[in-house]
Amino acid sequence: MSMFSKMKELNDLRSQAKELEKALSQITVTQSSADNAVQLTMTAKLEITELTIAPETPAETVKNTVNAAITAAQQKAAEHMRATGGLNFPGLS
């Protein structure tokens, strides 16, 4: 394989990564604690876009809600990657 072919594959992979990143930033999940004291929205890139915490909410409730949101966002990201084929690494198909 020539150097130019490898460079093209690398460029294609970068383009795929940018497209995937854009898609993941548009997928959101919303998670609330059982008592609605904590509510947050997060993208599949794990960026929190909204967060509301009621006064005097225990730290454990915040931690559990954030962890649940992370798990849900990771699952949505994995579903998206399975549905779209994810990144196509040359030689790994």
How do residues 2-25 score in pLDDT, each as one tens digit?
Answer: 888 888 888 888 888 898 889 889
35 part of a folded domain: yes
The β-bridge partners of 51 are 40
89 part of a folded domain: no
Tell me which residue range forms the domain holding 45.
3-84
Please, which residues have CB within 8 angstroms of residue 20's CB and are 6 or more apart in sequence?
81, 84, 86, 87
pLDDT, tens digit, 9 for 90 and up, residues 22-67: 988 999 999 999 999 999 999 999 999 999 999 999 999 999 999 9
46 part of a folded domain: yes
DSSP 52: E
Q: Name the domain count of the chain.
A: 1
pTM of structure: 0.75
Which CATH number is 35's domain given?
3.30.1310.10
